[in-house]
Structure 1
Amino acid sequence: MKKFLGTMSLAFLTLFALAQNKMLVKGIITDKQSRVPLAGASISLGSIRTVTDETGHFLFSRVGAGSYRLAVSSIGYQFFSQELAVKDAVTELNIALEPAVLYLEPLEVKAVRASDKAPFAKTNLSKEEISKNNLGQDIPFLLNQTPSVVVNADAGNGVGYTAMRIRGSDATRINVTLNGIPYNDAESMGTFFVNLPDFASSVNSIQVQRGVGTSSNGASAFGATLNLATNEYNEKPYAEFNNSFGSFNTWKNTVRAGSGLIDGHFTIDARLSKISSDGYIDRATSDLSSFYLSTAWMNKRSSLRFNLFSGKEKTYQAWYGVAESLLHTDRTNNPAGTEKSGAPYDNQTDNYTQTHYQLFFNHAFSNTWSFNTAAFLTRGYGYYEEYKADAAFSKYGLPNVTIGGTTITSSDLVRQRWLDNYFYGQTFSLRHKNGGNEFTFGGGWTRYDGTHFGTLPWIQLSSAPKDYRYYDYDAVKKDVNFYAKWQHQLGRYFTSFADLQYRNVNHTMNGFQGNPQLLVNRNFNFINPKAGITYARNGMQLYFSYALGNKEPNRDDFQASPLNQPKQETMHDFELGFEKKNSRFRFAADVYYMYYRNQLVLTGKINDVGASTRINVPYSYRLGLELQGSAILSDHFNVAANIAFSRNKISSFTEYIDNYDTNGQDAIAHRNTNISYSPAVVGGLTLNVLPVQQLTLSLVSKWVGKQYMDNTQNENRKLNAFFVQDARLSWQVNTRLFRDCRVIAQVNNLFNKQYEPNGFTYNYISGGATVTENGYYPMAGTNFVFGLNIGL
């Protein structure tokens, strides 16, 4: 911890030690026809970048003398590029952009994303930032260096099942949209990126919002929002071949191609991907494949786009974790499939296919009014298979077997637990933008039709009827929402933001596995207001916001009895932020206070139908400070860092422990304890050295403080703090054969640290003593990956 904080302190101090260059390049970007200044236009001068402020102005300070490529881009305008010779103390430019002849603005993304002036904590990642780290690991690992993020992986190497927490909130509290379309599983509310292998290769931008944020579509955000956009326009034809190989026999092969603009209106983009890995954990293999196809038609006022993408995954189960007793002697132990005598069962796998259909229509009625609507269908189908030894026939609704006068009540068997679902709906938004006002009215509806059922493909001493299902329960979840957002310019420097959403949720579940008689039909009505104000001047921004979020329980929570059903959760989110930036330097700070009413947490309590579900606790909160910064110190050195400090507390709750001596449960009261999986310190640091223009050497560091695996703050039930570092080399190879050729080599966990970012704990009383059994999900030691990306 001391070493990391020392390194972080040095990094933040260097943010203020800017390199001494003598030249200034400044100017204004305007619309060529109307001469209206363009805010938010992206400008690059060689390797440094900035965006125009609210008045269309930009500034590059301390620029060295020389010749640079100046490039300007803004949605809805033609790309501008020229060679610029910097030789005077001040170079002043006035650049007018030509309006695009095609409708290019992705309203489906604008409706759910926070704008540059929105008063919320957010991080934007460009396509370039995504692609330089995209070597086969899942999307959570690509976000590992963003503030307050902690990632983990069942297989230990970032391939297969992965997860992340943001500000201590897990995937069920992170709202995820793909081009504005809800992605979270409607019932569990979790997000399973393993179902979309290599989706990052089709993503051109990501926005991470921390806190309630501006989320409008899908499940409510209780910790963060993750918006991924793929609807990119490519004017020229292209082809790419991206391949990587790494430790644990990990392979990634990706082919991307696009037609460019055909006949001035049509475009087609496609991708095929294949990822495979043996995993770090024993038998934690992954066999993943996916495709992406997008075609669009555009004219000056409208665009019509259809996306079809699908992922298929087969992973050997690694979700059981490693027992604490084996952690130091057999870190890669995997108990999955070991109920079978002899060698572990070779098909203890998870198998799932998910296909997405998305249709978008955008239309501009005038220069001030625009409209978007999108229809979608997500089709999911698959199962996980398990070998069960000596399983009782009665548990599966089967009769006992009599052989030679002997009654047999159990047998080894293989079972499959299936999920067959359709998730479909529509979203829309109507936007009016005129002068200092931007108003958006939108909404949508979704419906989830899901069936949970189990089959028995093999029984050693009996045979089930053909197509026999030992359980079969369907569920329907409906969601309707409407929202209005208003961003208003107050004078020259102040901008106000207001957002009001109404959301209705109905969830019907006709029984649960092990509890077929429990029928649940719950209805929720939520009103979620948000408001804030931003002050922006001369590259400095200060904001304050308040947001209210309400969230319904997930499917597992409803397995309580009809007399003990869970309540909705409510969170009040206060955000105070500051940012200062120019073309070579950025510093930002955000203070947040997230206050929960009736947060659902695990307490160990077994309800009267035998299920261990989460229980509402009256009061809890998260209070934190997030610091982040970056600086280009010279043409050969730049640094980026972030660190978050937080206090995460439950005011009071009761823990329930199974007592095997009494066949009951003992209750233990707790007060002012830490919320589980919520480290007090999370930090990231990236140091980049550029010895020559085409070569970048990077040292990437991550610090995560200790985490408790339950809400008791018991030192025997914790995950230790860890500090890991990766090293990366990126070499841009100049060749006339290819448009682009890049070689990437990365060593993960450079110093072979043994650490576990995730785990679980189970506690019980036996023989008058409390017994704690912990399980962990270790990450791999030192490992490597090598990538070769070629663009034609």
Structure 2
Amino acid sequence: MKKRDWFYFIIVLLSVNLYAQKKKDSIIQIQEIIVSGKAPISKERVTAKQLQEKNLGQDIPYLLKNNLSIVSTSDAGAGVGYTSLRIRGSDQTRINVTLNGVPINNAESQGPFWINMPDIASSLSNLTIQRGVGTSTEGAGSFGASINARTQAPSSKPYFQTDQSLGSFKTHKHTFGLGTGNLFNEALKIDAKISFIKSDGYIDRAFSDLFSYYVHGLYEKNNTTVGFMTFGGKEKTYQSWNGIDAQMMKKRRTFNSCGAIYDSDENIVRYYNNETDNYNQNHYHFYIKQKLTPIWTINSTFFYTHGKGYYEEYKQNSKLSNYKLKDIIIGNETISKSDLIRRQWLDNNFYGIVNRLSGNINKWNLEVGISANSYEGYHYGNVIWGKYFSNEHIDHEYYRNKAIKNEVSGFFKAIYDLTQNLELFADIQCRSIYYKGHDVPGGESIFKNGGTIKFNKNYNFINPKIGTSYKIEKGTIYVTYGLTQREPSRNDILEKSNVKAELMHNVELGVQQNLHKFSYSVNWYGMYYINQLVLSGKINDVGSFIRENSGKSYRTGIELSSSYQLTKKVSLSANSTISINKNINFKKETSSYIEKLGNTPIAFSPSYIGNLIAEWKPIKKLNCKWINQYVSSQYLTNEKPKNGKLEGYFVSDMTFEFSPSLLSMKYLNFKLALNNIFNCKYENNGYYNDNTPYYYPQAGFNFLTGISLKF
């Protein structure tokens, strides 16, 4: 690590005890402890204004990258396109994402795909991050963290708004929104938005071409609320999931081998210009909120999501038999291998209902929830071109299989006010999951050297949680315990048929106070796993990480947040996570032997994450921030290889926001984001294949700037 990095690392560590009390309009609020009628769980809430201050085209993982315990990554290197985040080292398959309580995670892969909801941040009223098992109200599938996003209610006044931004790597975003205001005796109101985002990306050819829409109508009368919301996105991105090795990184950090076409001497002669990922996804939510009595309220949401898309890839010298094609006879020559172009398709439907009944009886706060959903996914592949193909081979289908996943879940949550200052909390959740994968008759899949896809799994889980909170002067002390279990994903099952479900015990103990000019929170967590599915460090042929059961393992650490108001114009804020993440008696299994490696670090789990933010308001309408993040080193595999590590890095950003008042406009705002101002060369993601580490380099200094107008 460079001396400068050590210097900033020490600043971040020391600043934990010197935090300034944030004002309501700062980017990141101090960690909030929920008390009084809600579970005693530590969480962070990010408001719409906080999101919009940074929303210039980057995806949500990059808008949240300085929140507590978060590390964000980007395949294209600049925060647009395929992005992801990890919380406490847990990858996105463990992070349960909901929108207005509706599950967003893909039912099979279990992770959210932010690229399928481009610019959803423009339509959010707030976003809440829970770490650990969380509560059942934040979704059934949480196994390490939860993100619950809430959309904005349609405006009661008519408006037109536009947000325009541009920046490095030919990045530009154009968003247009309008609202009808109150209609039909102020009972109905409708908002609508469309957005276009394009970027060439930092990595070679890693372009993104994204479109999204959002429409939300709301009818309210007396004790009844009825709403309909539809939103969706269309994306086309050039693939950039291959990463590069250390030798190539020294020569050309932006090198991208995806789409490369080689000659007989392994020299790149050209690139296939349509080595792309293409996907459309559309969401439909119909919801009803009815106040039954002064005590009881019921909420029901019916939802349907449809997605369809494909990867297109140029494959060189591929065996025709792998694509269920016969050898081609040309004259006296028999062709068994050929260059070809394939498309791997996914066509899926996901639908269900979420019901919640809540009420207050004397000292009891009660909530009951019942949800059911069903997923149907068709996986199939076509060969659309071949070097030696005749017309009869074109658009040849070489595999087709279907997946069905059904889930029914329910929970009961209760909070009891034992005394004026002491609350008790209990939450029990039941989940029943049926998951089946099979070949479609006549379209048998070829998987792993000729094997077919066939599995039939049932999982039944009971997940209890208990806790208590005690109010102190301007603060709270709390403790919670939760047990949760989770089923493997499709990729887990296909990689290893006897893969096991995971179980985690989670304890959270914390304190939080908001004093006059000083606010702080301290949270200790312990997460003990049985059969945790840890990232192995390897990726499959479409860039997804392969996971493996690690036996017993644990994560434990201290999360610290604080803020301090230096003057009326200057404040400081910081957060830090110091953690230990270990596999217990980890074993490396091969076809011929089992190697015992003892206790090893869990892959992609840095022991320290720290953020320091200085905020300055030189004049009333101008807000300036200096945002710093340090992430310590992390291993690419669970075997602790000497050459398989991501080095620690320090990244510093600056943002400026100016909001002058003009009589003809409701809102005028100028924004400028200067990212990685010290031009740090760093990698925050990678993988390990055949004893060789591969990295995803991130952009050096870059900028984004924008203007927002509202009439």
| Same fold at TM > 0.5 | yes
Q: Does 1:590 find its partner at 2:523?
A: yes
Counterpart of 1:712 (choices 639, 643, 657) is 639
Equivalent residue letter for 1:775? Y
- Shift in Å, 1:749: 0.3
Q: Does 1:569 find its partner at 2:569?
A: no
Report the counterpart of residue 490 of structure 2 in structure 1: 555
Report the counterpart of residue 123 of structure 2 in structure 1: 202
- Shift in Å, 1:49: 13
Counterparts of 2:276 and 2:29, CA distance in 1:
48
- Shift in Å, 1:371: 0.4
Report the counterpart of residue 473 of structure 2 in structure 1: 538
Deviations 1:666-718 (A, max 9, x none): 54221111000000000111111000111111100011000000001223100
Counterpart of 1:500 (choices 407, 417, 428) is 428
- Shift in Å, 1:537: 3.2
Q: Is the 8 A contact 2:17 2:562 kept in 1?
A: no
Q: Is the 8 A contact 2:214 2:229 kept in 1?
A: yes
Deviations 1:450-473 (A, max 9, x none): 000000111110245465310000
Equivalent residue letter for 2:396? Y
Q: Give ranges in structure 2 of 5+ residues lacking alignment.
A: 264-268, 440-444
Q: Secondary structure at the match of 1:590?
A: strand
Report the counterpart of residue 225 of structure 2 in structure 1: 303
Decide which moves more: 628-637 or 390-399: 628-637
Equivalent residue letter for 1:523? N
Counterparts of 1:709 and 1:343, CA distance in 2:
31
Counterpart of 1:15 (choices 3, 8, 19) is 19
Q: 1:612 to 1:759 in 2, by over 3 A?
A: closer
Equivalent residue letter for 1:624? G
Counterpart of 2:71 (choices 138, 150, 153) is 150
- Shift in Å, 1:115: 7.5
Q: Does 1:389 find its partner at 2:316?
A: yes
Counterparts of 1:672 and 1:702, CA distance in 2:
29
Q: Is the 8 A contact 1:340 1:388 kept in 2?
A: no
Counterparts of 2:457 and 2:680, CA distance in 1:
47
Report the counterpart of residue 197 of structure 2 in structure 1: 275
Q: 1:583 to 1:425 in 2, by over 3 A?
A: farther
Counterparts of 2:359 and 2:37, CA distance in 1:
18
Equivalent residue letter for 2:461? F
Q: Secondary structure at the match of 1:201?
A: helix
Q: Does 1:773 find its partner at 2:676?
A: no
Counterparts of 1:407 and 1:152, CA distance in 2:
46
- Shift in Å, 1:7: 1.6
- Shift in Å, 1:238: 2.2
Q: Does 1:698 find its partner at 2:633?
A: no
Q: Is the 8 A contact 2:16 2:560 kept in 1?
A: no
Q: Does 1:173 find its partner at 2:104?
A: no
- Shift in Å, 1:737: 2.5
- Shift in Å, 1:261: 1.9
Q: Is the 8 A contact 1:114 1:213 kept in 2?
A: no
Q: Secondary structure at the match of 1:472?
A: strand
Counterpart of 2:689 (choices 755, 762, 778) is 762
Q: 1:700 to 1:508 in 2, by over 3 A?
A: same
Counterparts of 1:128 and 1:191, CA distance in 2:
23
Counterpart of 2:408 (choices 480, 484, 487) is 480
Q: Is the 8 A contact 2:576 2:610 kept in 1?
A: yes
Equivalent residue letter for 2:223? R
Q: Is the 8 A contact 1:50 1:582 kept in 2?
A: no
Counterparts of 1:228 and 1:117, CA distance in 2:
17
Q: Is the 8 A contact 1:251 1:277 kept in 2?
A: yes
- Shift in Å, 1:237: 1.9
Q: 1:9 to 1:613 in 2, by over 3 A?
A: closer
Equivalent residue letter for 1:618? G
- Shift in Å, 1:9: 4.5
- Shift in Å, 1:566: 1.2
- Shift in Å, 1:48: 13
- Shift in Å, 1:394: 0.7
Equivalent residue letter for 2:529? Y
Report the counterpart of residue 8 of structure 2 in structure 1: 4
Q: Secondary structure at the match of 1:496?
A: strand
Matches within 5 A, 1:664-743: 667-743=594-670
Q: Is the 8 A contact 1:212 1:223 kept in 2?
A: yes
- Shift in Å, 1:558: 1.1
Q: Is the 8 A contact 1:559 1:613 kept in 2?
A: no
Equivalent residue letter for 1:254? T
Matches within 5 A, 1:229-308: 229-262=150-183, 263-308=185-230
Q: Give ranges in structure 1 of 5+ residues lacking alignment.
A: 20-42, 55-112, 658-663, 764-771
Counterparts of 1:613 and 1:780, CA distance in 2:
26
How many residues of Structure 1 are paired with residues of Structure 2 in the alignment? 688
Give the greater-gyration-radius structure (CA): 1
Q: Does 1:337 find its partner at 2:341?
A: no
Counterpart of 1:528 (choices 452, 460, 463) is 463
- Shift in Å, 1:216: 4.5
Q: 1:631 to 1:497 in 2, by over 3 A?
A: same
Q: Secondary structure at the match of 1:716?
A: coil
- Shift in Å, 1:404: 1.1
- Shift in Å, 1:240: 1.4
Q: Is the 8 A contact 1:114 1:214 kept in 2?
A: no
Counterparts of 1:419 and 1:518, CA distance in 2:
15
Counterpart of 2:351 (choices 412, 417, 424) is 424
Q: Secondary structure at the match of 2:58?
A: coil
Q: Secondary structure at the match of 1:327?
A: helix
Deviations 1:567-605 (A, max 9, x none): 110000000011001464320010000000111235589
Counterparts of 1:360 and 1:576, CA distance in 2:
36
- Shift in Å, 1:617: 2.6
Q: Is the 8 A contact 2:178 2:191 kept in 1?
A: yes
Q: 1:573 to 1:361 in 2, by over 3 A?
A: same
- Shift in Å, 1:235: 2.2
Q: Is the 8 A contact 2:89 2:606 kept in 1?
A: yes
Q: Is the 8 A contact 2:128 2:147 kept in 1?
A: yes
Counterparts of 2:324 and 2:461, CA distance in 1:
41
Counterparts of 2:27 and 2:260, CA distance in 1:
55
Deviations 1:369-419 (A, max 9, x none): 100100000000000100011111111011111111111111111000000
- Shift in Å, 1:316: 0.2
Q: 1:387 to 1:50 in 2, by over 3 A?
A: closer
Deviations 1:285-325 (A, max 9, x none): 00000000000100120100000101000000001111221
Equivalent residue letter for 2:47? S
Give TM-score scaled by structure 2 length. 0.93
Q: 1:283 to 1:599 in 2, by over 3 A?
A: same
Deviations 1:242-293 (A, max 9, x none): 1110000000111122122222100101111000000000000000000000
Equivalent residue letter for 2:76? A
Counterparts of 1:115 and 1:331, CA distance in 2:
51
Q: Secondary structure at the match of 2:452?
A: strand
Decide which moves more: 407-416 or 7-16: 7-16
Deviations 1:597-644 (A, max 9, x none): 1112355899xxxx9964323210001000001233322011211000
Q: Is the 8 A contact 2:97 2:105 kept in 1?
A: yes
Counterparts of 1:497 and 1:523, CA distance in 2:
30
Give TM-score scaled by structure 1 length. 0.83
Q: Is the 8 A contact 1:447 1:479 kept in 2?
A: yes
> CA RMSD, aligned part only?
2.5
Identity %: 38
